Amino acid sequence: MTVEITTLPSGLRIITDSMRDLETASIGVWVGAGSRDEMESEHGLSHLLEHMAFKGTKRRSAKAIAEEIESVGGDLNAATSTENTAYYARVLADDTGLALDIFADILTDSVFDAQELEREKSVILQEIGAVEDTPDDLVFDLFNAAAYPGQPIGRTILGTPERVSSFDRSAIETYLGRHYAAPVSIIAAAGAVDHQRIVNEAGERFGALAPQQKSRPSPALYIGGESIQKRRLEQTHVVVGFEGRSFHDEEEFALHVFAYAVGEGMSSRLFQEVREERGLAYSIYSFHWPFLDTGVFGFYAATAPSDVRDLMPVALDCMSAATEDLTTAEVDRAKAQMKVSLLTALESSSARAEQIARQHMAYGRVLQRDEMIGRIDGLTLEQVRRAGARSLRSAPTVAAIGDVSKVMTQAKVAARLA
């Protein structure tokens, strides 16, 4: 890896990874502000701001933004998450300057036109409605709200129709001024990139990005609970979860490996026992999502309502048993899967740009290839088992949507594991 890092006087970090033999570059701006940074009255504002950034600046209309990037064969997109917001593009090597100019324009000089704002709010209301019609997405919103009740990290990224409808230009500008600052922003690029050229162009174009540090979001506290929503659906969608690890917890990688061993892939325990041996679900998998100061671990399944009663205890027993009898072969297989997942990002410029940006935000540095592999390979069977056991001792969170008459309550899940 050829990672180079420069921090401008404003605090803006430039991180690049030159990838030989490529003729295109992936470049973007990652801002360390997401949905958990919102006050309750701002719920959904991070996502709305991401949409509005493309709706016109003092120099470019919304159409002009799209036409300029596409006229050179590039594409432009953005995404909002719990802890950051990303604006990114894929272009030919010679057009990174154009991409940076557009990013600087939309992040420091957007006009937030009133008519465009009303149209985009309507689009987001439709997006919220789409999630309501997608139970395998909605159940995770219910899960997060139950895991972190009354906290920003537990709120949906999209917001509510009431909140989104109430936002005006002043609300957007206030949020932008409070959170979009140079010290919490990263310009990351990978592929056919010249580090010094990007540093020079970023220095010229991002001078208007505020140099002050933003306040950190309030600490998250995993609590656990349950959120059960009855609906007329063909399947019942269930998520059962527990406290996971943060990026800074020494057991972060161990719990990742445990999650892979228990429920990632067709050879995992959950897939083999729940789907292959018993036919209780078409879809079942485990997950571990770390954040800066917390994390969640658990499994998702979609099954026939009549099978929920059997599926949940079987899945819980699989996970519990793995904390005691997970084998070296299973751990080695999970390690291999995790290494392939991490190393795949080294072969794609877009994935690599995102990886180096997110790693620097999470760890304060970019993890080297050998370090990532070393962390995984260095884990012992006992460390992986212990990480899983620690999570399963935490308070459960249960979320379900559909015919929920046979769903185990939080208390019953806890009793089963005890």
Query: Which residues are catalytic, by number?
Result: 50
Which three-class secondary structure state does DSSP give residue 232? Answer: coil
Please state, in angstroms and rounded to a whole number, the distance separating the CA atoms of residues 407 and 405: 6
Please state, in angstroms and rounded to a whole number, the distance separating the CA atoms of residues 55 and 49: 10
Which residue has 């709010």 as its token pair?
Answer: 121
Cβ-in-10-Å burial (0-12, 13-18, 19+) of 5 comes to middle
- 397 Cβ contact partners less than 8 Å away, ≥ 6 residues apart: 143, 146, 147, 224, 225, 226, 239, 240, 241, 242, 296, 298, 410
Burial 106-141 (b: 16+ CB within 10 A, else e): bbbebbbbeebbeebbeebbeebeeeeeebeebbbb
Q: Which residues lie across from 18 on neighbouring strands?
A: 191
- 315 Cβ contact partners less than 8 Å away, ≥ 6 residues apart: 240, 270, 273, 274, 284, 299, 301
Burial 57-77 (b: 16+ CB within 10 A, else e): beebebeebeebbeeeebebe
Which residue has 């892979």 as its token pair?
Answer: 260
Which residue has 């309502």 as its token pair?
Answer: 305
Among residues 412, 417, 397, the alpha carbon closest in space to that of 241 is found at 397
Strands (E), 146-243: 185-191, 225-230, 236-243
Q: How far from each other are the two terminal CA atoms of the chain, in whole angstroms?
A: 46
